[in-house]
Amino acid sequence: MEYRRIKDQDKIGDPVKEDIESLRGKALLDVPAPYDKTKWKMKSIVTLALTFLTSSQAILIVWSKRAGRYEYSVTTANFLVETLKCALSLVALARIWRTEGVTEDNRLSTTVDEVSVYPIPAALYLVKNLLQYYIFAYVDAPGYQILKNLNIISTGVLYRIILKKKLSEIQWAAFILLCAGCTTAQLNPSSDHVLQTPFLGWMMAIIMALLSGFAGVYTEAIIKKRPSRNINVQNFWLYVFGMIFNVVAMLIQDFDAIVNKGFFHGYSPITVLMIINHALSGIAVSMVMKYADNIVKVYSTSVAMLLTAVVSVFLFNFHLSLAFFLGSTVVSVSVYLHSIGKLQR
């Protein structure tokens, strides 16, 4: 649903010009006003959609754990998520072809030059997901949640290096605060264990943060490299390689389980909801990459994390800790500083 609404907006304006310009690191203020407004609207819609989907995703995960159903194999679910994203992109494309006809920008066929970079993000995520199984030899699950906040810093650094976009000094300060605030909000009495993580564990956490940050930033680079290309075509090719690499992961990790118990073993209605949610979130991430950037993505998912906790108070009788309030305050100030920092560029 979110996806359709986003897609329909696509026809209103052509954000191509600004995309090229922002890729070249030019100031937004140079862009004529009408472009600016459409871009702003698009950016807001996809950002809100991502925030909403990410927080409902976390709530579904808690819900499915409470229901005691978590026995399906994660790799089959991931494969289905990629397949659903692929299908949704094709449905969206079919609608566009019907109204606009097939053009240079929305045709599905591609060149080796264009398609050759698309497997890279999927391959990086595969390596990251495989590493994830080994890091638990060094840290426990809550510790890993804490270490995952390193993603925020790695994304910022790689965004600067690879996309060559500058953040102002205040925005860098805001980014450090975002990382510290998210971590603070997640603190619990056993969090200090993470300080005893052995050197190898730290190294793996840093490598995983770099892989995940690089995959995100590289996806943005791919999508923005051809701004006039229809996002649904770009998504289709990204997700095709996502499917392929998830088949590899399935064979490596769950081949025996699938052969013995069947592909859909342990699936429940909640699992289906989670797959649909993951697929829509994935599409929202691509949209954010097209119409906004990785920085917006990081803020959006961080705010979603806080929203999830607040919603969980009502849904699951969660108690919010003092650390959560302090972390949320720091994240809020960070969001404020990020927007202030932009104006002063």
Q: Which is nearer to a copy of itself, 143 or 227 (CB)?
A: 143
Q: Which is nearer to a copy of itself, 104 or 169 (CB)?
A: 169
Q: What is the C-alpha to C-alpha distance for residues 63 and 69, in angstroms, rounded to an integer?
A: 9
Q: Which is nearer to a copy of itself, 108 or 170 (CB)?
A: 170
User: Does residue 139 bind a copy of itself (CB under 8 A)?
Assistant: no
**Nearest CA-CA partner of 120 in 233, 260, 215, 221:** 215
Long-range contacts of 103-110 (CB under 8 A, 24+ apart): 105/228, 105/229, 105/230, 105/233, 106/230, 106/232, 106/233, 107/233, 108/233, 108/236, 110/233, 110/237
User: Does residue 323 bind a copy of itself (CB under 8 A)?
Assistant: yes
Contact range with a copy of itself by CB under 8 A, out of 111-119, 127-135, 225-233, 332-340: 332-340
User: Does residue 109 bind a copy of itself (CB under 8 A)?
Assistant: no
User: Does residue 112 bind a copy of itself (CB under 8 A)?
Assistant: no
Which tokens belong to 222?
């791919």
Q: Residue 204 in 3-state DSSP?
A: helix
**Nearest CA-CA partner of 9 in 60, 53, 43, 57:** 43
In sequence order, the 6+-apart residues with CB closer than 8 A to the CB of 308 are 54, 55, 58, 59
Site size toward a copy of itself (CB under 8 A) is 28
Token pair 């497997």 is found at: 119
User: Does residue 103 bind a copy of itself (CB under 8 A)?
Assistant: no
Residues 187, 321: contact at Cβ < 8 Å? yes
User: Does residue 329 bind a copy of itself (CB under 8 A)?
Assistant: yes
**Nearest CA-CA partner of 231 in 40, 51, 92:** 92
User: Does residue 146 bind a copy of itself (CB under 8 A)?
Assistant: yes
Q: Which is nearer to a copy of itself, 282 or 327 (CB)?
A: 327
User: Does residue 238 bind a copy of itself (CB under 8 A)?
Assistant: no
- Eight-class DSSP state of 100: H
User: Does residue 310 bind a copy of itself (CB under 8 A)?
Assistant: no
User: Does residue 306 bind a copy of itself (CB under 8 A)?
Assistant: no
What part of residues 166-205 is at the interface with a copy of itself (CB under 8 A)?
A: 169-170, 173, 176-177, 180-181, 183-184, 187, 189, 191-192, 194-195
What part of residues 1-40 is at the interface with a copy of itself (CB under 8 A)?
A: none
Interface with a copy of itself by CB under 8 A: which residues?
146, 169-170, 173, 176-177, 180-181, 183-184, 187, 189, 191-192, 194-195, 321-323, 326-327, 329-330, 333, 336-337, 340, 344
